[in-house]
Chain A
Amino acid sequence: MSHGSAPAPAGGHPEAAARFVANEARTHWHDQALWFVREKRDKAASLVPDWEELRIAAAAIRAYQRGRLPELLEEFERNAVARGAKVHWAADAAEHNEIVHRILDERGVRRLVKSKSMLTEECGLNPYLEARGIEVVDTDLGERIVQLRQEPPSHIIFPAIHLKREEIGVLFHDKLGTPQGLSDPTKLTEAARGHLRERFMRAQAGLTGVNFAVAETGGVVVCTNEGNADMGTSLPPLHIACMGVEKLLPRLEHLAVMVRLLARSATGQPITSYTSHFHGPIEGGELHIVIVDNGRSRLLADTALRGLLACIRCGACMNTCPVYRRSGGYSYGWVVPGPIGSALAAARDPASHATLPFASSLCGSCDGVCPVRIPIHDALLKERRTLAARGLIPPGKRFALAFLALVLRYRAVYEAGGRILRFALRHLPRFVLYGPWNVWGRRRELPPAPKESFRDTWRRTRAAGGRSRG
């Protein structure tokens, strides 16, 4: 099984991205599929008169939450317990997995159905449970597809966005026995539905993620489009809901702000088909809520980057990111890809994700779509400084830029350097200029160099003293 946080690809993001881009037609298809979602998001957001004010409100709610997280968590626990839920606390991924396994094991559960949860991906829950003899079935269609392929999700909202329907047809033929060559999305979905229905019927427990938890009510909220979370928690008597500490909202009224933003940002829908509120267990059943830290309180203590905890996992930054669209989710080598994933991964472990803060042109479009206004590109820039401070910038790049900086400190040296550069660009033979060292020149021509720099012309044409004749 390759579930859990995907290993960082060899060579980091640039090499993985280059392999993705090598198939240009497929890259364009991927780009277009996600751009379509970005456009749907634009349309949906444009229909909310105060969209930008809503984002400001959401950011304020998240900032307030960060400031009082410990008290709010205690309030949530009190209220959840009062409604009959059992609350468990997990310091890290290992504890989370142990807790979930213990709950299942104590009740003799061998068959578990799951709805989407990036947290359990982060913790590597599926392989942990499978190694202990528990059948785990992801019931979100996209999740099920990647699970059958033994792949992690490539996008947090569209886990199988990297696959074409023909490939899903082949997979379903192989795994679910659909007719060979079937690629009609409706028919494939019907086949998956039949297959999943059977798994739902024999499941002994259902596990869900949590989109929001409300401190004031002790309830948890799960948003899905397929109703799979509801199936998985209504049929079996045992419901386990796993959440990171950051999922908390102080009051129910805050949910109104978040829910209006979430689906519009994620898929361009006004609201997900199902927004299910769980307040305590079903009759005769049990509800366990596992609250996980796994590095979040360390991020909360990081004054420069704590704002990243505001993320509500809508995926809008991935859809708008020109780099993500052209490099695919797997190129990031982390459970959450794209701009926010890069920022979160590098905040957690800079050394293991040293190429991710650089997997961005810093265009800033992610900041603009983020429903909770996380300054993502600024976080990436801060993380670049951290990498440099820890000596994690490749030496070639470090020396080249340090040398350039030295040249630029002295006007005369800069001017001489400029002259040499322009002379070289004009006169060196092509095979020298475009040698293997010239990465720029692999797919681009170098700029045509003028004879005179601006300052040469200025000096030649303007009186001494540098004034214009204006």
Chain B
Amino acid sequence: MRVALFVPCYVDQLWPGAALGAVKVLEAHGVEVVFPEEQTCCGQPMANAGLAAAAEPLARRFLEVFGGFEAVVCPSGSCTSMVRNHYDPFLAGAPGFDALKAHTYELCEFLVDVLGVREVRGSFPHKVALHQSCHGLRELGLGVASESMRPRTNKVDGLLRSLAGIELVPLARADECCGFGGTFAVVEEAVSALMGKDRIADHEKAGAEIVTGTDVSCLMHLQGIAKRDGRPLRFMHVAEVLAEALP
């Protein structure tokens, strides 16, 4: 199977390890990866700020770059959700859009739902806490959120749990938002930073050595606060964990 890798702009520029990890993990599962170099950004920052006119050309561009691939895989829940759940106002009715929407996947989702992976090979002998990024959790349904009364399942947690030697530590608040929230991190700086600080305290209390998650944006925010406050936590994207664990 051949997939196009969608690397969000901030991952490309600031946390390339997440995308490199994704390539390694996909290839280890026999997937051929292509990277369409014309890609830049899905337009989420503008769309979430309400600036539809600024976001629309980026959505159109995204369809031009990624339309026609059998599958598009992205190491970010939030950017995947942008394409799947928030492109309609810009692209509804455009040729190829429905197929693009249906075949754009977050990395863990692709592994579990498309490739049927239940267990990943490899070992990762660390105490890890999973930060549930909201858009992946609630908009993509990578897991069932704590407020839902549906039976608990979680694709990301399931993959991590299958690694040998890993200890996933439980958090007091399983899926509270970290406070990144895109421009929220700046517009509501005070609340955003305290939300992050509180998440870090929860992760530390749980005894985590490494915090992982599906979204670099959340991790970057949490890492920024942890570093400022001199907390020793390490932050790794889930693709980096899965890649490092590979035998």
Q: Say yes or no: B147 contacts A42, CB within 8 Å.
A: yes
Residue of B14, B43, B147, B194 near A450 (CB, 8 A) is B14
Residue of B nearest to A409 (CB): B57
Residues of B within 8 A of A361 (CB): 134, 177, 179-181, 184, 188, 192, 195
Q: Say yes or no: A447 contacts B177, CB within 8 Å.
A: no
- Is B9 on the interface with A (CB-CB < 8 A)? yes
Residues of A within 8 A of B58 (CB): 405, 408-409
Residue of B11, B32, B55, B228 near A405 (CB, 8 A) is B55
Residue of B53, B176, B191 near A327 (CB, 8 A) is B191
B197 shortest CB reach to chain A, Å: 8
Interface residues on B, range: 35 or more
Q: Say yes or no: B146 contacts A401, CB within 8 Å.
A: no
Roughly how many angstroms separate A461 CA and B223 CA in the complex, as a whole number? Answer: 29
Q: Say yes or no: A408 contacts B149, CB within 8 Å.
A: no
| Contact mask for chain B residues 182-204; partner A; CB cutoff 8 A; 1 contact, 0 none | 11111111111111111000000
Residue of A nearest to B146 (CB): A42
Residues 13-50 of B at the A interface (beta carbon under 8 Å): 13-17, 19-20, 23, 26-27, 30-41, 43, 45-46, 48-50
Residues 211-258 of A at the B interface (beta carbon under 8 Å): none
B159 shortest CB reach to chain A, Å: 20
| Contact mask for chain A residues 403-437; partner B; CB cutoff 8 A; 1 contact, 0 none | 01100111100100010011000000000000000
Q: Say yes or no: B61 contacts A14, CB within 8 Å.
A: no
| Contact mask for chain B residues 114-150; partner A; CB cutoff 8 A; 1 contact, 0 none | 0000000000000000000011001100000111111
Residue of B nearest to A458 (CB): B35
Residue of A326, A393, A410, A445 near B228 (CB, 8 A) is A445
**A-B Cβ contacts below 8 A, count:** 231
Residue of B35, B148, B190, B225 near A466 (CB, 8 A) is B35
- Is A51 on the interface with B (CB-CB < 8 A)? yes
Q: Say yes or no: B191 contacts A455, CB within 8 Å.
A: no
Q: Say yes or no: B149 contacts A402, CB within 8 Å.
A: no
B64 shortest CB reach to chain A, Å: 11
Q: Say yes or no: B12 contacts A409, CB within 8 Å.
A: no
Roughly how many angstroms separate A452 CA and B35 CA in the complex, as a whole number? Answer: 16
| A447-B191 in contact given A320-B147, A364-B138, A381-B48 (Cβ < 8 Å) | no
Q: Say yes or no: B19 contacts A454, CB within 8 Å.
A: yes
- Is B205 on the interface with A (CB-CB < 8 A)? no
Roughly how many angstroms separate A362 CA and B48 CA in the complex, as a whole number? Answer: 9
- Is A178 on the interface with B (CB-CB < 8 A)? no
A263 shortest CB reach to chain B, Å: 16
- Is B164 on the interface with A (CB-CB < 8 A)? no
Q: Say yes or no: A363 contacts B35, CB within 8 Å.
A: no
- Is B68 on the interface with A (CB-CB < 8 A)? no
Q: Say yes or no: B134 contacts A402, CB within 8 Å.
A: no
- If over half of B's interface residues share one DSSP class (helix, strand or loop), that class is named, otherwise mixed; here it is helix
Roughly how many angstroms separate A401 CA and B52 CA in the complex, as a whole number? Answer: 11
| Contact mask for chain A residues 372-414; partner B; CB cutoff 8 A; 1 contact, 0 none | 0000000001011111110001000110011011001111001
A423 shortest CB reach to chain B, Å: 11
Q: Say yes or no: A326 contacts B194, CB within 8 Å.
A: yes
| A466-B46 in contact given A14-B188, A21-B191, A409-B40 (Cβ < 8 Å) | no
Q: Say yes or no: A454 contacts B16, CB within 8 Å.
A: yes
Roughly how many angstroms separate A414 CA and B35 CA in the complex, as a whole number? Answer: 16
| A455-B37 in contact given A384-B50, A401-B54, A445-B227 (Cβ < 8 Å) | yes
Roughly how many angstroms separate A414 CA and B9 CA in the complex, as a whole number? Answer: 9
Residues of A within 8 A of B171 (CB): none
Residues 337-385 of A at the B interface (beta carbon under 8 Å): 357-365, 367-369, 381, 383-385
- Is B220 on the interface with A (CB-CB < 8 A)? yes
Q: Say yes or no: B190 contacts A17, CB within 8 Å.
A: yes
- Is B63 on the interface with A (CB-CB < 8 A)? no
Q: Say yes or no: B188 contacts A323, CB within 8 Å.
A: yes
Q: Say yes or no: A363 contacts B40, CB within 8 Å.
A: no
Roughly how many angstroms separate A35 CA and B146 CA in the complex, as a whole number? Answer: 13
Interface residues of A (CB under 8 A from B): 13-14, 17-18, 21-22, 24, 27-28, 31, 35, 38, 42, 45-46, 48, 51-52, 320, 322-323, 326-327, 357-365, 367-369, 381, 383-389, 393, 397-398, 401-402, 404-405, 408-411, 414, 418, 421-422, 439-440, 442-447, 449-450, 452-455, 457-459, 462, 466-470
A-B contact pairs, 11 of them (CB 8 A): A21-B191, A28-B198, A48-B149, A361-B177, A362-B48, A365-B134, A381-B48, A397-B183, A401-B45, A409-B40, A454-B16
- Chain A to chain B: the 10 pairs with minimum beta-carbon distance, closest first: A361-B181, A384-B50, A444-B224, A388-B50, A363-B177, A454-B16, A18-B190, A405-B54, A363-B134, A443-B193
In addition to A14-B189, A24-B194, A365-B145, 8 A-B residue pairs with Cβ atoms within 8 Å of each other are A18-B191, A38-B147, A322-B179, A326-B194, A444-B193, A462-B35, A468-B26, A468-B33
